[in-house]
Chains A and B, each alone.
Chain A
Amino acid sequence: MDCPVVWLYCGGYIMAFNSNIPEGPLKDKWTDHLFNMKLVNPSNKRKYKIIVVGTGLAGGSAAATLAELGYNVEAFSYHESPRRAHSIAAQGGINAAKNYPNDGDSIYRLFYDTIKGGDYRAREANVHRLAEISNNIIDQCVAQGVPFAREYGGLLDNRSFGGAQVSRTFYARGQTGQQLLLGAYSALTRQMKTGNVKFHPRHEMLDLVMVDDKARGIITRNLETGEIKSHAADAVILATGGYGNVFYLSTNAMASNATAAWRAHRKGAYFANPCFTQIHPTCIPVSSEHQSKLTLMSESLRNDGRVWVPKEKGDKRKASEIPENERDYYLERMYPSFGNLVPRDVASRRAKNMCDAGHGVGETGLAVYLDFSDVISRNGQEWVAEKYGNLFDMYKQITGENPYEGPMMIYPAVHYTMGGLWVDYNLMSSIEGLHVLGEANFSDHGANRLGASALMQGLADGYFVIPYTIGNYLASNKLVDIDTNHPAFKDAEDKLKESNDKLFAIKGSRTVDDFHKELGKIMWEYVGMARNKEGLEKALVEIPKLRKEFWKDVKIPGSETELNPELEKAGRLADFLELGELMARDALNREESCGGHFRQEFQTEENEAKRNDADFTFAAAWEYKGENQTPELHKEDLNFEHVKLTTRSYK
């Protein structure tokens, strides 16, 4: 069955829950689909208005490309400029199946690795399309003037990343995300100049507006003046990033949040696989109570760094005093073929196991070493600096220790969310006209994302998928003419003002940060790296309790009509407090271990994740049922026709 259609009976009418995967052989699906989709006449494009919320890699590339095609685009970001989006922080690189190093890579291999890396919980058709498009992305970015790393012969250089045995990662020192985002941003500014894109900086989307069950606009708050305003359009695109900050401490930027996605969810968009969170193995360990965020040390470091802990439990000697034969290079020992380059979920879990077993290092015992002494003595400090200079500097800046002299200390931290709003093959959510791109959707990474694949997915979605599929949507639907005078907008604006008033009216005693930290602790403890039934059930009690407390006791200073960061944070936290609960519910429901979701009850004797393919080969799409109501689960069955489901082995 190529086209799993699940018909749902909801509220009196039948709603299609259809992944809309095209018919035909895997490798022809996208090509055929491109041909079969309807086109919008070039001269008509101008008449369509498309709202793009979020101008990171996914949203920025989408907005620019749609504008180039002639659509009338309005883009929104809570940032002051598209260049500030969280995508800027991506360090390591972006994958593509170019096979430039001639090491046997191909589109099929990238597809295969991504499906396998995702622990067989992603859609084959989507992932294959992603692999096909990957090569165009590199061409596009180079043409924009993105200064990727090059070899002396002038051609592009590649590095290896976890979960792959080929070198397919293109990079720009440790600042790949920055360079790619600046590329997309430059394309976007070019369209801003032509007027095809109207950009609204410091505008936060706070609600989705639907007319006739189709997404037709949004409500925003101008963060500088507090003005609440409606915007109508023919289609809405959300590219608002991930929700890792539900854990309070994560590698995400401080303002990254789930509000846009969550409010769309409340309006009917299904939220898929919320429990699939990625814990990144190489982050700088937590050092104090006041820590506001965690810093990633790019996974690319695992190319040349070796991970170890002392063999002796509780060994408090300095790293330099521990002789070679008393060190346990545990990843190399356990996984001889992938070694330090096992996928993230495996590396993270192993680090946690080692620390839980008493081998952890540093003051807190919650860290392992990442050692560069071998590569420094082999290739010299300069070589290392050329490749990782900025990461080493960053490490030194944060910890005050020089990683050229001793090993780095690392520990896993929340990094990425594979889950997100459910979308079909065309990147349309369960709400018609609402499309979701980038980290905000759930599409391509299954239960675990491979390194350097998020940038690829974001740009694939924005540059090469949505520009076609949205055309198909617009050409296939006859939309009624509406503007912001439609009562649906007024209604949404009123509700929003009401909820803001409610927040101010609480006048409690605790700050937003207090609550957020507490939520983060619950999430990390019970919905973190290792989960179990008991803990998840506890979370399902604790989170609603905290939510109640929040609505009773939070304190928001200032007023609504000014720049008010506390109000912004409060709105976002209110959503996290609901999303956190859904994550726990999803994790409880998924009685298996797969990828980033590790249930302690389900593991092999060697402590590897044990999947349950018979019962859980599906994407869990949750439907919102109202405040404090249990959401409803819809299952999208995943059909694997090309890849055989096996136990992942990186040994």
Chain B
Amino acid sequence: MDKQLQDKLLELFTGKLSRQVQLYLDTCSRCGVCSDTCHVYASMPIPKYTPAYRAEVVRRIFKKYFKAQGKLLPVLGEAKILDETALDELKEAAYSCTGCRRCMVYCPFGIDTQQIMSIAKLLLIGANSEPEILTMLADMSISKGESIEESKERFIEGLKRLETDVIDKWKIKAGKTPIPTDAQNADILYVALAGAHSIVPAAAIFNAAGENWSLSFFEAVNFGAFVGDPAKTKLISDRIVNEAKRLKVKEVSICECGTAFRVMKHLSGPQPFKVSSLTEVHARYLREGRIKLDQSKFDLPVTYHDPCQMARNAGVIDDPRFILQHLTDDFREMAPDPKYNWCCGGGGGLVALGEETLDFRMKSARVKADQVKKTGAKILATACENCHTQLSDLNDHYKMNVEVKFLSSMVADALVH
């Protein structure tokens, strides 16, 4: 690696050294407690898949260039030069971690491996070694934000084709728009994903609740966050923030996408509007009696997979359970419970990388499949696009014999007048 590139990467590294991240890098007793708390290592016991090993890949470079110990006595901490092999290791480490932060729950110091891996991801971007698809997808989202006026019409046309599906689920008064867009002063701006499954059920439920809502022109998914590019992450979420400000909405509700929700709610600073997940909104409607559900709609045992970025990392834990109480008499909690729940194995951009990561995703999530099977449930509900895709793949691969469903679509199907 030439000196110029190395300097550039070290500069990127320096930019990542906030007080918190430096604390994480400064502390690790390599006690190994975190090892089998990672679904990857628990499913495939190879040392490089332990959280601390992953973190050490970054930490060794940190020691080499930022620590007195690493400069004077590199052998002590096995400080390491940043070169091509280091890049390979960084890639392996970062893209075998889903950023679920389960290890952080067990670590005596609460070391956040996801934060440390975000350094690895940024260095990879700096060296043009990140998975290209993710950057491409991120760039597409950004350019869509820049040229929204041109694509608006096509988008609205597309929505027209979904209207009958929405009305099929919930009849609205004549003259009302089933899927409103660009509604000034709406109470809720709903940010969906590209795809009918993310728009139709949600729209039906908003209409059933008599909500004054508007659909965002943008997709919620943040590929910038997956690839670990802070600038792109911000550009992508800013599109939504600006739309919300322009329409003067009170609340922005993020669809079933864990990362998009966490980025908007917890990782992009205070906003002039309330941020909630679609699940929270649905629970609120139920609590306020704005919608009613038919509890006999699903007569099979149901279990719920907590998306890591929604539950452990963003606090949406009780609401999905509250909703499920209204959907079934036979809800089966997974063990261990939400705080310790196993990651599905699809986060951190792995699902977005598709076939390329399929084999790894299946092998690394054996513990998840076992956990689901143990519940004996026949319906596996979840509230995250990534999790849904990954769980469906697991279902095929491990013959889990369940039907994987979005929580929102279950709510929409069980709506009663």
Q: Do A and B come from one complex?
A: no
Give the A-binding residues of B (Cβ under 8 A): none
